Amino acid sequence: MILKVESINKSFHEKSAIKDISFEINGGEILSIIGPSGAGKTTILRCINGLERCDGGSIEICGLKLCKEENNQCIYPSPKKLRKLRSNIGMVFQGYNLFPHLTVLENIIEAPINGFNVAKNDAENKAIELLDMLGLKEKVNSYPFELSGGEKQRVAIARACALNPKLMCFDEPTSALDPELTDDIAKIIEKLAQEGMAVLIITHDMAFAKRISQRIIFIEAGKILSAINIKPFLSE
Amino acid sequence: MNYVGTLMYSMLVGLATTIEIFLLTLVLSIPLGIVVALARLSKIQFINLTAQFYIWIMRGTPLLLQLIFIFFGLPLIGLTFDRLTAAILAFVLNYCAYFGEIFRSGIQSIDNAQYEAAEVLGLTPVKTFLRIILPQAIKRILPAISNEVITLIKDTSLVYVVGIGELLRAGKIASNRDATLLPLFVVGLFYLILTAVLTKTFKGFEEKFSYYR
């Protein structure tokens, strides 16, 4: 199991955003979380990648605790450990959040080189391999402003893959794409899963979620309403 | 024309002092300005308030007064500086406050999404600032920095108050001695040339940063 979320809670200014959320994702599995806007989808994602701190509950990634509850408080590891732990989680933001002043290649190798001391050569080879897989090889030296929306998204995926994460998170991956591009991103996500990654998708695109996921979790007002299995998933 | 030629030596000596003060102030106050901006943005109340107080004092009183205070006032409590040191100290303290506010505006204009992207990628806060935030901030604040730098080259004329001879003073001396305004026109020309060079330089910087949008 890659990700295990156990009854996490989060409030903003006393107002509960998510409540008692629990689920798990295995390697190779694609799970979508669906719900109306304001339901807390993004908050769940932000708790998992550590951008928000949970008020309660625990999150485990690859057997390591991102946070655990002790005496009604959520305990997080030191910033250094947290950074290490986070390299297991890849994140593709809704707005992609590429670094505009860096080329496509520099965007991808920034974290491996300057965050995790990977040798420049190794980082570049890995980046080019990823870009090749995503059909962006000729864009290596382009800047983000020179790319289309779909290309930016693929660069964001390559950047998130550069540290070989075990879990890949997507925030509304289809929100800015044309229908024909939706199929491309679906294929890319499936490929990541085939390579053994656990994939978590936050979306309100029901058709997309049905097309791609093994399981869908429906949430409303910060709580899980139901979960359905779409495709049978052969466990590791 | 011959007369202008006789002025040149003293003018060029004055010009050298002007450029010296200008460059020393820039080299010191720009990096320190980044520090002031970070202090001003600090979440630690004490640091933040200290920075705010400092900026208030420095922007709230005339630079001329600050020069006088440092050179004539501080010796009263036993702190004595030579002329040039006092002048540089006053200029750096003053310009640091302005540069600090410019850097702050640039840093704050960077979208939070950039910090979040860097954070999930595992960059440390220091690396995030130096490699992601600051380069983008500098592109945005270049026009404001250029403004401030052009003001600085003209402000250097204030050092006459502590008895340093610079470009404008050289012109004034000649003007009084020879009872003619011509030296002052020459001085004006020098400032215009300096400003033209600075404008061109900053245009170059802006072009250098125009490789991305």
Domain boundaries, chain A: 1-88+165-236, 96-164
pLDDT digits 0-9 by tens, A67-123:
998 888 889 999 888 888 888 999 999 999 999 999 999 999 999 999 999 999 999
Residues in contact with A139: Cβ distance below 8 Å, sequence separation at least 6, in sequence order: A104, A131, A146, A147, A151, A155
Of B113, B135, B212, the CB nearest to A93: B113
User: In chain B, at which residue ranges do the beta strands (DSSP E only) sit?
Assistant: none
Verify whether the Cβ–Cβ distance A98 to B117 is below 8 Å: yes
Amino acid at B193: I
Query: How many angstroms away from the CA of B113 is the closest CA of chain A?
Result: 6
SS3 A226: strand
pLDDT at A233 over 70: no
pLDDT band at A234 (very low <50, low <70, confident <90, very high): low
d(CA B128, CA A97) in angstroms, rounded, equals: 14
Verify whether the Cβ–Cβ distance B212 to A144 is below 8 Å: yes
Verify whether the Cβ–Cβ distance B122 to A83 is below 8 Å: yes
Domain boundaries, chain B: 2-211
Q: Does the CB of A97 have a partner CB in chain B at under 8 Å?
A: yes
Verify whether the Cβ–Cβ distance B120 to A101 is below 8 Å: no
What does the H/E/C string look like for B29-45? HHHHHHHHHHHHHCCCH
Task: Check residue B198 and give its pLDDT.
Answer: 97
Q: How big, in percent rounded to 5, are the helix, strand and coil portions of chain A?
A: 35, 30, 35
Mean pLDDT, chain B cut into blocks of 10 residues (213 residues total): 85 95 97 97 96 97 97 94 96 98 97 96 94 96 97 96 93 93 95 97 95 88
Of A49, A91, A101, the CB nearest to B136: A101
CATH topology of domain B2-211: MetI-like fold (1.10.3720)
Verify whether the Cβ–Cβ distance B117 to A97 is below 8 Å: yes
Task: Report how far apart, in Å, the C-alpha atoms of A21 and of each of A67, A167, B48, B173 are.
Answer: 14, 18, 39, 81
Computed over every residue of chain A, the mean pLDDT equals 91
Task: Check residue B201 and give its pLDDT.
Answer: 97
Cβ-Cβ contacts under 8 Å, B127 against chain A: 114-115
Portion 102-161 of A in contact with B at CB < 8 A: 110-111, 114-116, 143-145, 159-160
CB A167 within 8 A of CB A85: no
Q: Which residue of B lies nearest to A158 if distances are taken between CA atoms?
A: B121
Verify whether the Cβ–Cβ distance B212 to A89 is below 8 Å: no
Task: Check residue A236 and give its pLDDT.
Answer: 41
Of A93, A97, A101, the CB nearest to B135: A101
Task: Check residue A231 and give its pLDDT.
Answer: 74
CB atoms within 10 A of CB A177: 18
pLDDT digits 0-9 by tens, A131-157:
999 999 999 999 999 999 999 999 999
pLDDT digits 0-9 by tens, A155-190:
999 999 999 999 999 999 998 888 888 888 999 999
d(CA B198, CA B213) in angstroms, rounded, equals: 24
Of B122, B131, B211, the CB nearest to A86: B122
Of B114, B127, B135, the CB nearest to A115: B127
CB A92 within 8 A of CB A169: yes
| Beta-ladder partners of A11 | A16
pLDDT band at A31 (very low <50, low <70, confident <90, very high): very high
Query: How many angstroms away from the CA of B193 is the closest CA of chain A?
Result: 33
Task: Check residue B196 and give its pLDDT.
Answer: 97
CATH class of the domain whose range is A1-88+165-236: alpha beta
pLDDT at A235 over 60: no
Verify whether the Cβ–Cβ distance B120 to A50 is below 8 Å: yes
